[in-house]
Amino acid sequence: MKNFLQVVFCLLAITSGFSQNYKFGKVSEEDFKKYGTPSSSHNAVVLYKSQTIDFTYVEGEGFQQENEIHERIVIYNKEGFDWATKKVKLYDYSASKEENLIGLKGYTYNLVDGKVEKEKLRNEGVFEEKQNKYWKKTSFTMPNIKEGCIIEFTYKIVSPYLSIDDIDLQYTIPIKTFDLSVNTPEFYVYREHLNPRAFYLPELQKTQITRTLSKTERSMYGHASQFTQSKTDYNVNVIKSQASDVPALKQEPMVGNIDNYRSKLILELVAKRFPNQPTESFSTSWGKVAETIYEDDDFGKQLDRNNFFKKDLQSLTVAENKMQTAANIYSFVKNKVKWNSFVGYGSQNGIKKAYVEGSGNVADINLLLVAMLREAGINANPVLLSTISNGIPLVPTVSGFNYVICLVEEENFRTLLDASDPYGSPNVLPQHALNWQGRVIRKDESSDWVSLSELPLSSETSLLNVNINSDLAISGKARSNYTNYLAHEYLKNFLNVNKDDHIKQLEKEKGDVVISELAFKHSKTSAKPVTVSYDYKLENAIEEIGGKLYFSPLFFLGQINNPYKDSERLYPIQFNYPKVIKSMVNIKLPEGYHIESLPQNEKIVFNGDSGMFSYLLKNNGETLQLLINFDFKDALVLPSHYEHFKTFYTKVIEKMNEQVVLKKV
Q: Evaluate if residue 4 carries a pLDDT over 60.
A: no
Average pLDDT over residues 232-238: 94
- The pLDDT confidence band at residue 301, using thresholds 50, 70 and 90, is very high
DSSP class of 432 = G
Residue by residue, DSSP assigns 589-612 as PPTTEEEEE-PPPEEEEETTTTEE
User: Phi, psi at residue 149, to the nearest 5°?
Assistant: -75, 165
Centre a 10 Å sphere on the Cβ of residue 275 and count the other Cβ atoms it contains.
Answer: 8
Contacts of 290 (CB under 8 A, 6+ apart): 384, 439, 441, 445, 447
Say how far apart CA 607 and CA 613 lie, in whole Å. Answer: 12
Q: By the 8 A CB rule, do 282 and 396 touch?
A: no
Residue 314: closest CA among 332, 302, 297, 298: 332
Residue 645: CA count within 13 A, CB half-sphere: 23
Indicate the length of the chain as a whole number: 665
Sign of CA dihedral 171, 173, 174, 176: negative
- Tell me the CA distances in angstroms from 367 to 304, 318, 444, 521, one per residue in order: 10, 21, 16, 32
178-191 per-residue burial string, b: 16 or more CB within 10 A, e: under 16:
bbbbbbbbebbbbe
Say how far apart CA 231 and CA 216 lie, in whole Å. Answer: 9
> Hey, which residues does 136 pair with through a beta bridge?
90, 130
Residue 515: closest CA among 460, 464, 554, 461: 464
Residues 413-472: tens digit of each pLDDT: 899 999 999 999 999 999 999 998 999 999 888 899 999 988 999 999 999 999 999 899
Burial class of residue 334 in the structure, from the number of CB atoms within 10 Å of its CB (0-12 exposed, 13-18 middle, 19+ buried): buried
Q: Evaluate if residue 587 carries a pLDDT over 90.
A: yes
Residue type, 51: Q
User: How remote is the C-alpha of 135 from its chain's centroid?
Assistant: 19
**Domains of the chain: residue spans and CATH:** 22-202+235-280 (2.60.40.3140), 286-451 (3.10.620.30), 458-664 (2.60.120.1130)
Residues 260-286: tens digit of each pLDDT: 999 999 999 999 999 889 999 887 899
Q: What is the pLDDT of residue 394?
A: 85
Q: Evaluate if residue 12 carries a pLDDT over 90.
A: no
- Intra-chain end-to-end CA distance of the chain, in Å: 87
Q: By the 8 A CB rule, do 163 and 398 touch?
A: no
Say how far apart CA 526 and CA 427 lie, in whole Å. Answer: 10
Q: What is the pLDDT of residue 65?
A: 98
Q: Evaluate if residue 19 carries a pLDDT over 50.
A: no
Say how far apart CA 585 and CA 334 lie, in whole Å. Answer: 39
As a whole number of Å, the CA-based R_g of the chain is 31
Residues 114-171: tens digit of each pLDDT: 999 999 999 999 999 988 778 899 999 999 999 999 999 999 999 999 999 999 999 9
Torsion from C-alpha of 284, 288, 293, 295, nearest 10 degrees: -130
DSSP class of 320 = T
Q: Evaluate if residue 225 carries a pLDDT over 80.
A: no
Q: Evaluate if residue 10 carries a pLDDT over 50.
A: no
Q: By the 8 A CB rule, do 351 and 360 touch?
A: yes
Mean pLDDT of the chain: 91
Residue by residue, DSSP assigns 219-249 as EEETTEEEEEEEEEEEEEEEEEEEEEEEPPP
Q: Evaluate if residue 6 carries a pLDDT over 50.
A: no
Q: By the 8 A CB rule, do 343 and 384 touch?
A: no
Say how far apart CA 401 and CA 385 lie, in whole Å. Answer: 5
Q: What is the pLDDT of residue 557?
A: 92
Burial class of residue 590 in the structure, from the number of CB atoms within 10 Å of its CB (0-12 exposed, 13-18 middle, 19+ buried): middle
Say how far apart CA 59 and CA 83 lie, in whole Å. Answer: 39
Q: What is the pLDDT of residue 230?
A: 78
Q: By the 8 A CB rule, do 369 and 310 touch?
A: no
Q: What is the pLDDT of residue 218?
A: 67
- Tell me the CA distances in angstroms from 468 to 337, 521, 623, one per residue in order: 51, 28, 11
Say how far apart CA 322 and CA 340 lie, in whole Å. Answer: 29
Q: What is the pLDDT of residue 7?
A: 38
Residues 631-651: tens digit of each pLDDT: 998 889 999 999 999 999 999
3-state helix vs strand vs coil in the chain, percent to 5: 25, 40, 35
DSSP class of 546 = T
- Tell me the CA distances in angstroms from 569 to 171, 198, 240, 285, 433, one per residue in order: 19, 13, 31, 33, 25
Q: Which stretches does DSSP call E strand in 42-134? A: 44-58, 62-75, 85-91, 100-112, 115-120, 126-130
Q: Evaluate if residue 503 carries a pLDDT over 90.
A: yes
- The pLDDT confidence band at residue 219, using thresholds 50, 70 and 90, is low
Q: Evaluate if residue 15 carries a pLDDT over 60.
A: no
Q: Which of 10-24, 72-86, 304-318, 374-388 has the lowest mean pLDDT?
A: 10-24
- The percentage of the chain sitting over the pLDDT mark of 90, rounded to a whole number, equals 77
- The pLDDT confidence band at residue 626, using thresholds 50, 70 and 90, is very high
More confident residue, 168 or 227: 168
Say how far apart CA 511 and CA 515 lie, in whole Å. Answer: 11
Centre a 10 Å sphere on the Cβ of residue 88 and count the other Cβ atoms it contains.
Answer: 16
Q: What is the pLDDT of residue 634?
A: 87
Residue by residue, DSSP assigns 129-160 as EE-SSSEEEEEEE-SS--TT-EEEEEEEEEES
- The pLDDT confidence band at residue 60, using thresholds 50, 70 and 90, is confident
